[in-house]
Amino acid sequence: MAGASVSGLPSILFPTRQISDRIEAMAEEILRDPRIDGKFEQVLVVCALNGAFVFAADLLRAFAMRGGNFKVGFLKLSSYGEGTVSTGTVTMKQESTVDPAGSVVLFLDDILDSGRTLQFALKHLREQGATDVVSAVLLDKAERREVAAQADFVGFTCPDVFVVGYGMDYAERYRGLPYVGILDESAIAAEKVGI
């Protein structure tokens, strides 16, 4: 069956199995967090759109199998536009679909990069009345941080490369790949000239 050798498929950085094992372990770690443990009724999971939807789906299923049937909301944020470099400004396209007031919010994002998205989201959720905000990201590009922002839970530390798959896109494509991959330069160049 297919692997990274299939022409046009991004090369594998984090394989499917490694991601699913890590998600199960993260679910256990998160459920043991004192801000969440014993307070399941108050927990609202907020998934950053678009990129975190696959991460959130897998983590939510891992929570549910451990008794964590949490409320779920979605917050649409954007910092990238169509390119591979952050624009430096975070815009909120849609507020959380579930009111965070009075909840312990677990904010989920795909990648922590400059840190601006996380910083923006945490501030926003607190301003909206969340009693506590806990954060988890699948990937942390630690060396690219530009503002002080740190996630409480990190799936993997990620090298400074542009990644796609497992919810993450390049110009809205590749989100369905079941692994995290690296897009080669020629695919990015081809996309730019529209071939």
With respect to ligand IMP, which residue has the nearer C-beta, 64 or 161? 161
Secondary structure of the chain as H, E, C letters: CCCCCCCCCCEEEECHHHHHHHHHHHHHHHHCCCCCCCCHHHEEEEEEECCCHHHHHHHHHHHHCCCCCCEEEEEEEECCCCCCCCCCCCEEEECCCCCCCCCEEEEEEEEECCCHHHHHHHHHHHHCCCCEEEEEEEEECHHHCCCCCCCCEEEEECCCCCEEECCECECCECCCCCCEEECCHHHHHHHHHCC
Choose among Mg ion, ligand IMP, none what residue 122 binds, the Cβ cut-off being 5 to 8 Å by kind.
Answer: none
Q: Give yes or no for residue 51 binding ligand IMP (CB under 6 A).
A: yes
Nearer to ligand IMP, 43 or 54 (CB): 54
The verdict on whether 160 is a catalytic residue reads no
Does 140 bind ligand IMP (CB under 6 A)? Our answer is: no
Considering only residues 113 to 132 of the shown chain, the ones binding ligand IMP according to CB under 6 A are 113-117
Q: Mark the segment that binds Mg ion (CB under 5 A) among 8-16, 45-53, 58-66, 183-191.
A: 45-53
> Where in 149-188 is the site for ligand IMP (CB under 6 A)?
162-163, 168
Q: Which of 44, 45, 51, 128 binds Mg ion (CB under 5 A)?
A: 51
Which of ligand IMP, Mg ion, none binds 115 (CB below 5-8 Å, type-dependent)?
ligand IMP
Query: Could you say which of Mg ion, ligand IMP, none residue 114 binds, taking C-beta under 5 to 8 angstroms by partner kind?
Result: ligand IMP
CA distance 44 to 82: 30
Residue 136 found at the interface with ligand IMP (CB under 6 A) = no
Pairwise CA distance, residues 142 & 154, whole Å: 10
Q: How far is the CB of 79 from ligand IMP (least distance, A)?
A: 4
Q: Which residues bind Mg ion (CB under 5 A)?
A: 51
Q: Which residues bind ligand IMP (CB under 6 A)?
A: 48, 51, 79-80, 86, 90, 109-117, 162-163, 168
| Residues noted as catalytic | 113
